[in-house]
Structure 1
């Protein structure tokens, strides 16, 4: 699906109203007539970067023909500029990886890429940075303090996962983490003191072998421990929800008893908790019988 809403029936109606056949629209957009036929019948969707050309060929404003919800993210800016990921990467003189990583919320663009890409997309640097925040699950206008609170360094990520990922069970100690890292590497590559130094922020350096071992120890994808990669927004939401439920179980949330009586949680609070549990069921992995 393109980042904007696409309605093939509406495209067909507008095309016919302009007295264009599918072949003429296809030629203007740079595709084949059968491709246009599939778009209009709902069998397929055009790539997002094709939408500006389609709107221009039909003489319609892009936002009117293909509306979108919410603020723009990096993918929307690129597509609205009519560029593919490969073309945007070519503008930067690099591979597709930096563009794809930024759009998927895995790793931010390097500072030297930002002004070049903003110019290619026809937006200001500030607009590009706001779109990048959206790609990373942050609200437009997010303060510097809020942005900085997202775990970025290897040590911050370790601390975040230890704090939020072990509700109802004991988190591994620095010694246990070091042991798993060394077992994964097949040789001693890190000491307990090294893990403690990372967590305390005394060092931010870690070899690829150590990063892979940390991912094994904390049961996350190794890409999380790459420089500038952030905890996925959906994962952060899930971990925060689990922590919330765990704190309820331990009686750590203030005001659990309804005000004015000792009857426990209010109906409203119970409803919210039930809704949250329902959402988590869809995010939890399948549990096999006997586990």
Structure 2
């Protein structure tokens, strides 16, 4: 596995691959890799001849008081996991390499970026869109692989790629879960043993909402309210629990058939997000 911290080395490697006729896949990460990340790599390898992975804890997507400094960094372990997985290139840029000394340009996907997580984390998705746009320009892959756990992030990036005519296919990969249903996340490491026992109830709330939608017994607002109460009683501090249309992540109504239920809640000091897709088409 080639490891580099410079943009020019990435571009030179990609140029060599292109000249050999290779199809290239890219997996952006913030490190502290787990099975979910390795699943992205596995799917990328099925669809491409060469796979590049980035590890970059992006400061522009962290707000004031968030965990940028404390975000877990496990570079040595991550390198070994990616090498063992057969990744071709690992890009480990510094903040200076990615942004230079006087970066002024921000990529902002209006509307989508202000909903849900964007409402409680102002500027977060601007940081995500900007850094992913930069990575796609640097690597210029044929396919980019992203996990579905952060469904809003996936929607923002897909919209950005479409609006800016970036020639890459964004391919989602299903969320990897513990046997309890808890979605794998780098932030799960912040949870105490007791919180780890409670955390799967977020997914249980999503499953209950999905089942209620499919049974058609209640309005979506009632399902959302029930879920919030359930989470509060379990010890969470819910941020939002919303039944949305997949296309624009706005509130769904009974006429919509392609739905996603989005949830975010704090458990102790840890903010967890998750979602579940629902189709009511017959």
TM-score category, normalised to shorter length: under 0.3
- Structure 1 length as normaliser, TM-score? 0.24
Larger Rg: 1
The structure richer in helix per residue is: 1
Higher normalized strand content (fraction of residues): 2
Q: Which one has more relative contact order, counting CA pairs under 8 Å at least 6 apart?
A: 2
